[in-house]
A = this chain, B = another copy of it.
Amino acid sequence: MSPKRGKPVVAIVGMGLIGGSLGLAIRKARIAREVVGICRRPSSIAPAIRMGACDRGTIRLKQGIDGADLIFLCTPPQEIMRLARVIARQAEPGVVVTDVGSTKSLIVRNIESGTPDSFLFVGGHPLAGSEQAGLKASRPGLFRGATWILTRSRRTSPKAIASLAKFLSKLRVSIAVMSPQEHDEILALTSHLPHAVAGTLAGSLKSSHLRFAAGGFKDVTRIASSDPNLWGEIFLSNRHEVADALSRFRLNLGQVERWIRRGEGRSLVRFLVRARALREKIHGIGQPSRHD
């Protein structure tokens, strides 16, 4: 990423919720010379330009990345891995390629094994999203104040990380750099586990009980309204960590179940007090959630 004239040309592959919001944020911050949106459907190009998510759009990958200094892959994991290999054969030297996939070990390993060492790939993951999908749900503030993880493997170019971090920090995100494996261990607990739990809760509901599901149930299961295909892919691309997190969670849940069954109120309340205290330390609690 060494733009010839000041600001970089940015290409975004996949103009869904994340890609669209990224384009909006970059254009609003005026930190790119040009934002090119690469869409899957021709019909998405005009709306993407109209809402300000890109300066120009195309459905042709080669045309879209031509002249780009920085390329964001904003598609589900399988497609990220396929695209990176294609781009590695087409992109000019020095172009930095990053992604926004919710898992990192598999993606980074797969891309590094299928591309030359000179290909500058940096795994990325903005911790922001919504159960809503698609360009329509995009908004420029989606990432504001969020943590954006970048991964460092043995092959990752320190210069590529540094320039990408510098670029992203202008979007007012907080950058965290860690290994792909560390990312996957943490996200299994903070994101993939809650999604699996929310889905299982929603899936356990009987139709006849729908009327009696109030605000608490709706909130706990909100993320169960996320795209099932995307989340199926995410779970499987971090399967060991997610399965282990589920296994430990089931043990914790078993402990709570025993306290309740045996009427051990004191242990139960102590646990609930600690849970509440932990939750209230999460950054931004007390502020409206991003989907409101």
What residue in chain B is nearest A259 (Cβ atoms)?
B235
Q: Which residues in B have their C-beta under 8 angstroms from that of A146?
A: 214
A77, chain B: closest CB distance, angstroms: 12
Q: Which residues in B have their C-beta under 8 angstroms from that of A186?
A: 209, 212
Q: What is the count of identical protomers in the complex?
A: 2
**CA A129 to CA B265, docked complex, whole Å:** 23
With A129-B216, A203-B271, A254-B250 in contact, do A260 and B187 touch (Cβ < 8 Å)?
no
* A204: interface (CB < 8 Å): yes
* A222: interface (CB < 8 Å): yes
Task: Give the contact stretch, choosing among A31-39, A158-166, A226-234.
Answer: A226-234
Q: Are B249 and A201 within 8 A (Cβ)?
A: yes
Closest 5 A/B residue pairs (Cβ)? A228-B272, A203-B275, A243-B261, A232-B269, A127-B214
Q: Which residues in B have their C-beta under 8 angstroms from that of A204?
A: 189, 248-249, 252
* A253: interface (CB < 8 Å): yes
Q: Are A190 and B219 within 8 A (Cβ)?
A: no
* A79: interface (CB < 8 Å): no
Q: Which residues in B have their C-beta under 8 angstroms from that of A222?
A: 216, 219-220
* A223: interface (CB < 8 Å): yes
Interface size bracket, A side: 35 or more
Q: Are B292 and A217 within 8 A (Cβ)?
A: no
| Listed residue (A174, A265, A268) with the most chain B CB atoms within 10 angstroms of its CB | A268
A219, chain B: closest CB distance, angstroms: 5
**CA A122 to CA B70, docked complex, whole Å:** 67
With A212-B127, A228-B273 in contact, do A282 and B218 touch (Cβ < 8 Å)?
yes
Q: Are B239 and A216 within 8 A (Cβ)?
A: no
